[in-house]
Amino acid sequence: MPSDSATLRSTCILIDKLSTNLLYKPPNQHSTANSKRNLDPNLKMKLTCDPARAKTLISAFQSVSERVTNAAGTRNVRLVAVSKLKPATDILALHEQANVEHFGENYAQELMEKAEILPRSIKWHFIGGLQSNKCKPLASTVFNLHLVSSIDSQKKASQLSLGRSLLPMPADSNSKPSPLNIHIQLNTSGESSKSGVSPGKDTTELCKYVIEECPYLKLVGFMTIGAIARSQMKEGEENEDFKVLREERDRVEKELGIEGLELSMGMSEDFEEAIRQGSGEVRIGSTIFGERPAKQDFKVKEGVEEERS
């Protein structure tokens, strides 16, 4: 746990905008990329998080983390801090001062903008509804994109795999981009308002397609966003959405002869029950970051100052 002095110190990092915007480009290609993107090599950005805000965020994250640990017992459960519609400075405060690595975003454009100005050591998760036309740019530009949790069609899987194959690698490297981790999203509640593939045959076929036809994707598990009513069940009652996802995981592993697929289920209202029912990843937003602003009022670079050296 950070000391009071460490918690209170302002998170303030000078970032060279040229190298940050091009952190996915080999260093020796900066000049070429710079001319294409019209970047000013003298432009720097300063990200500053208010000390009181940083302290609040760290306290909230630690509280949630303790609850996750208590619910998980001896199992390791990944806690993804969902930073949708929160400024880059909030993310930086948690990453730099509390060593939080995993952050989730719901909008592709927002994730790409944040990834440009934040440290590459962050592990980004895309957890929102993914449009097919966003798959390629997302996978081909965000080097530290760790996992995409919302694959529900062959078209999206194909475009994401293609995008990953185009991820620039260092000029002196003969290696290819590593496969991108993905979850198949299931519509476990059957609600028309929810995204996700239907349990059963459709799920099996999509899993087979990813494994056999998408060389730049790695199937690591399944994700669901269940019905709101089920997330508000009394303690001890089994959540039907979580049960369906777990049963689908077990069935697919048996039918396809694979093992070790994880479950991503559980958000702010129901993550402890999700863990009790086998979740290996929970996605927590408002309990850590507080209420979100309206989308039209949100600014990625709130608290970011640009200056020329």
Predicted pLDDT at 127: 98
Within a domain: 117 = yes
Residues ≥6 apart with Cβ < 8 Å to 117: 15, 17, 20, 21, 45, 47, 88, 300, 301, 304
* Structural domains of the chain, count: 1
Read off the DSSP letter of residue 233: P
Q: Is 1 helix (H, G, I), strand (E, B) or coil?
A: coil
Within a domain: 201 = yes
| Intervals of the chain under pLDDT 50 | 1-43, 309
Within a domain: 11 = no
Within a domain: 16 = no
Predicted pLDDT at 87: 94
Within a domain: 181 = yes
Residues ≥6 apart with Cβ < 8 Å to 222: 183, 184, 185, 186, 203, 245, 248, 249, 252, 261, 262, 263, 264
Predicted pLDDT at 3: 47
Predicted pLDDT at 187: 97
Within a domain: 102 = yes
* Residue span of the structural domain in which 167 resides: 51-299
* Residue type at 155 in one-letter notation: K
Predicted pLDDT at 173: 75
Within a domain: 13 = no
- The model's pLDDT over 136-153, given as tens digits with 9 standing for 90+, comes to 999 999 999 999 999 999
Predicted pLDDT at 306: 60
Q: What CATH number did the domain enclosing 208 receive? A: 3.20.20.10
**Model pTM score:** 0.84
Predicted pLDDT at 234: 61
Predicted pLDDT at 163: 98
Within a domain: 40 = no
